Chains A and B, each alone.
Chain A
Amino acid sequence: MSQWFAKRIEEKERALYVTPKPPATETVRLTGDATADLATIRAALHNTADFMVREILVCGVPVKLMMFEGMFSLQTLTEIMLEPLGDLTLEDPSPQALRDWILHQAVLGMDQNEVETLGKLFPFLMSGFAGILIDGIAGAIVAGVQGFQFRSVSEPSAEENVRGSREGFTEPIRINMTMVRRRVKSSELKMELMKAGVKSKTDLCLIYQTDMVAPELLRDIRRRIREIPTDMILESGYIQPFLDTDIISIFSNVGTTQRPDTLCAKVSEGRVGILVDGTPFALIVPYFFNENFQSLDDYTHRPYYAVFERWLKYLAFFFTILLPGFYVAVGTFHPELFPEALLLNVTAAEQDVPFPLVIEALLIHFIYELMREAGLRLPRPIGHAIGIIGALVIGDAAVTAGLISSPMVMVVALTALSSFVVPSLFQEATIMRFGFILIGGTLGIFGMALGLALMIVNLCSVNAYGIPSMSPESPFQMFAMRDVLLRAGWKKLGRKKLKIQNLPGTEIR
């Protein structure tokens, strides 16, 4: 039966989608006849409008310069390529002598390579390199003269901190790589460039510390990236599922950060950072559950305050997923749990509401999510207006109209507030909150306990790249608690460095 369904789904998929394939011209080799090669290149590019070619003579040898419009800097091109080529005099001018001079003596760009196929040439050209075709040479020389427009380095919008750097990652991968390198001037820090995306050929950069990373972890990540079948990778979120655990889980084992300092800290513990060209969000692999409750501020503040903050975050997370469901469960099935005075207030408030508690909770949380989503997508000035509407509609009008009770408004306000404390778990918390409201309203505390148990078992079953996702809480390691439930001072923390593959329950070394 299941096979029949799988076959039907496959048939439907085949009718709708196509499997991404690399272009057929990928393996076409350059012949050495510059005019014919250029014609092949143009044909392979389907005479695209942004492809530019300049033909020049260098020491009597015909040379064709190829570039993509807007991708290069004219000043750099003139200064480091056109002027030296124009001034060049060779004793024995020949295509081979010119090639040797460019490759071995000249510096026409900081990054210079020779390529033989179109599949290798195109990614360079499309990254802002200039391509040089020399008549008589079966290949092309590429030199980096990039000069495209990009957003400047600015403060990360999703990870603001009280203290610490104001620099956040930006879109070009090279800028992001320099931001990491500037922070860790160690020979052990290695950056490894890869490409992913059958058609987009997006640049990825694996960042790791050779003395800390587990080779098995690194091999697994490389394999997973190589096997990504997607044709376009436009954001790090496109590759995140391929790096994530194979177990169906609501939580991810791949973290994201916009901060170079956070990435450096994670890499120094044996994790692998992945930068993706075109996005300011870097990926961190593997990422454990407790890391969602850590921020850079924890390490810049005084330890006692950092511990307080960390506990506040744990509490906020459980508040945001459990509080509405718990309120509904207690109000519906176990009112004896309320202290007497509170019970009287809740009963009085709920008397005028026409809906059962569970419907009321679902309704108000749905309205809240609606307004949050609207506020997020709208331009900022209009977004503020949404806030005012929310305050008026939920806070006042709905209560006055008798659609919801005031204690429920308190619950949703507290829940919403708590959900912003741990932003990295926002998506998971939102979905789970609705789930807990439903099971709390239908099964009471019993259902809540079952749901929570299911969540914890699911979290515990994930071994991200062979390392338990819940480590070091479970399997428990007392020593590691100094940076999980507590935050020891730097005099203690700085003495010894955590290596993630040494955590209890780990299968890799």
Chain B
Amino acid sequence: MRGKSAISSWQLAVLLFLSRIMQFFLAVSPEGQPGALTAALLLPASMAASILLLLPAYFLLRKNRGKGILDLAGERWGKLGAICSAAFFFFSLCVLVQTASAFSYFLTSTAYPDTSPWLFILLLFAVGGYAASMGYEPTARFGAFVFAALIAALLFTGFSLWPQAHWAFLRPPAGDSLQSQLQLFARLTLGNVETAALLFLIPAVNEKQKSVFWKWNLLTFGVGEGAILFTAAVLGDYGKSQRFPFYTVTKIAEVSIFQRLDSLHIALWVFMALVRLAVFLEVGGKSLARLLPTRAAKHAVATCAAVAALLSGVFTGQQHVLERIGSVFSSGAPVLWLTCLLPLFLLIFRRKGGAGR
């Protein structure tokens, strides 16, 4: 007997948190980025801005309980609603390609320098696709285990490196230019792709839907702040020369005979990458299913995974394409369109005779 794919608010919050925190961990530190303290201060501000961003979606979904954004697009815009499904599908595809490429790049540049990125990409999408094809529930339940393991790993790293943390390394925000601060703020707010996933997945939550946003942000704020500040306090300016600063932190963490545990952290990150892939494969698969004929719709998740794997493999060697995708996300346009403008238009414009009047 299969589940009804209904999850609790905590389960969705944990899924979104894991997906978001994965983005933090895989973030390559670019030149001229503001200091960790600035980033830590901007994080709550970006969360406040996200509330404003989600206001139209909040009013839309509150008026139409139990319905998803794609259902509403179909009801209100008829066949034009397919544009909405296509937008979510392409958005998910881009997130999937970016995640898989970044993660395979991370693996080949740290632990497996001689292995083809294709191998990682294909395996990640095979397992992620399996998780997504089973529905929300299994991914959410798996997420709970990953969350527990992540907290344990972070505590271990924190305790082992506590004596080496020098809080003087944290540069005051005044040292960063206003422009760079605004850029980071925009990236934290509009580059937060999980906001779109939240909008898509929220109808699957069977209780306290509103609380998902707070729980998710509370977790991200608590863990994200801690990780950012601690990484900066341990590595100082050395962190700026590292491709993956948080990975470097895990590399130097040791307690007694337990040392060089970075490989074990990689295992944990594989779990987190799988969660992120499964979440966006669900979003992409369900959106694609609305665009395909009924018979083909059954294989939408598998199709989405296959296409994403193929594109990830092809683009992994082509840094300029990935940078282009990254810059589109950094511009904030996709998240702004999907999470704010689309719900706003759905609220305002309705097809004549369409439902929801």
Binding site for B on A (CB under 8 A): 220, 245-247, 330, 333-334, 336-337, 339, 443-450, 452-454, 456-458, 460-461, 463-466, 468, 470, 473-476, 504-505, 507
Instruction: Tell whether, in the assembled complex, residue A456 and residue B142 are in contact, meaning their CB atoms are under 8 Å apart.
Output: yes
Which residues of A sit under 8 angstroms from B111, Cβ to Cβ?
333-334, 444-446
Which A-chain residue is minimally distant from B143 (CB atoms)?
Answer: A474
Instruction: Tell whether, in the assembled complex, residue A449 and residue B270 are in contact, meaning their CB atoms are under 8 Å apart.
Output: yes
Binding site for A on B (CB under 8 A): 1-4, 8, 11, 107, 111-112, 119-120, 123-124, 127, 130-131, 134-135, 137-142, 144-145, 257, 259-261, 263-264, 266-268, 270-271, 274
Give the one of A449, A453, A474, A507 with max B CB within 10 A: A453
A336 to B258 alpha-carbon distance, docked (Å): 11
Which residues of B sit under 8 angstroms from A473, Cβ to Cβ?
144-145
Which B-chain residue is minimally distant from A442 (CB atoms)?
Answer: B119
Q: A460-B142, A473-B144, A474-B141 are in contact. List 20 more A-B contacts (CB 8 A).
A: A333-B263, A336-B260, A339-B257, A443-B123, A445-B266, A445-B267, A446-B267, A450-B127, A452-B267, A457-B131, A460-B138, A461-B135, A463-B1, A463-B2, A468-B141, A470-B141, A473-B145, A474-B145, A475-B141, A507-B3
A468 to B3 alpha-carbon distance, docked (Å): 8
Give the one of A247, A330, A457, A458 with max B CB within 10 A: A457
Instruction: Tell whether, in the assembled complex, residue B271 and residue A449 are in contact, meaning their CB atoms are under 8 Å apart.
Output: yes
B312 CB, min distance to chain A CBs, angstroms:
16
Instruction: Tell whether, in the assembled complex, residue A446 and residue B107 are in contact, meaning their CB atoms are under 8 Å apart.
Output: yes
Which residues of B sit under 8 angstroms from A464, Cβ to Cβ?
1
A139 to B304 alpha-carbon distance, docked (Å): 66
- What are some 14 contacts across the A-B interface (CB < 8 A)? A339-B257, A450-B274, A456-B142, A458-B138, A460-B141, A461-B3, A463-B3, A466-B1, A468-B141, A474-B142, A474-B145, A504-B8, A505-B3, A507-B1
Instruction: Tell whether, in the assembled complex, residue A456 and residue B145 are in contact, meaning their CB atoms are under 8 Å apart.
Output: yes
Which residues of B sit under 8 angstroms from A446, Cβ to Cβ?
107, 111-112, 120, 123, 266-267, 270
A452 to B266 alpha-carbon distance, docked (Å): 13
Q: Which of B2, B120, B142 contacts A247 (CB 8 A)?
A: B2
A461 to B278 alpha-carbon distance, docked (Å): 13
Instruction: Tell whether, in the assembled complex, residue B120 and residue A468 are in contact, meaning their CB atoms are under 8 Å apart.
Output: no
Across the A-B interface, give the 8 residue pairs with the lowest CB-CB distance, nearest first.
Answer: A460-B141, A461-B138, A449-B267, A449-B270, A461-B134, A474-B141, A474-B144, A334-B263
Q: Which of B2, B112, B266 contacts A449 (CB 8 A)?
A: B266
Which residues of A sit under 8 angstroms from B261, Cβ to Cβ?
337
A452 to B274 alpha-carbon distance, docked (Å): 12
Q: Which of A444, A456, A475 contacts B8 (CB 8 A)?
A: A475
Instruction: Tell whether, in the assembled complex, residue B145 and residue A465 are in contact, meaning their CB atoms are under 8 Å apart.
Output: no
Which residues of B sit under 8 angstroms from A507, Cβ to Cβ?
1, 3-4
Q: Which of B1, B141, B271 contacts A453 (CB 8 A)?
A: B271
Instruction: Tell whether, in the assembled complex, residue A336 and residue B3 are in contact, meaning their CB atoms are under 8 Å apart.
Output: no
Instruction: Tell whether, in the assembled complex, residue A246 and residue B1 are in contact, meaning their CB atoms are under 8 Å apart.
Output: yes
Give the one of B257, B263, B266, B271 with max A CB within 10 A: B263
A452 to B268 alpha-carbon distance, docked (Å): 11
Instruction: Tell whether, in the assembled complex, residue A450 and residue B123 are in contact, meaning their CB atoms are under 8 Å apart.
Output: yes
Instruction: Tell whether, in the assembled complex, residue A450 and residue B1 are in contact, meaning their CB atoms are under 8 Å apart.
Output: no
Which residues of B sit under 8 angstroms from A443, Cβ to Cβ?
119, 123
Q: Which of B120, B123, B139, B257 contacts A457 (CB 8 A)?
A: B139
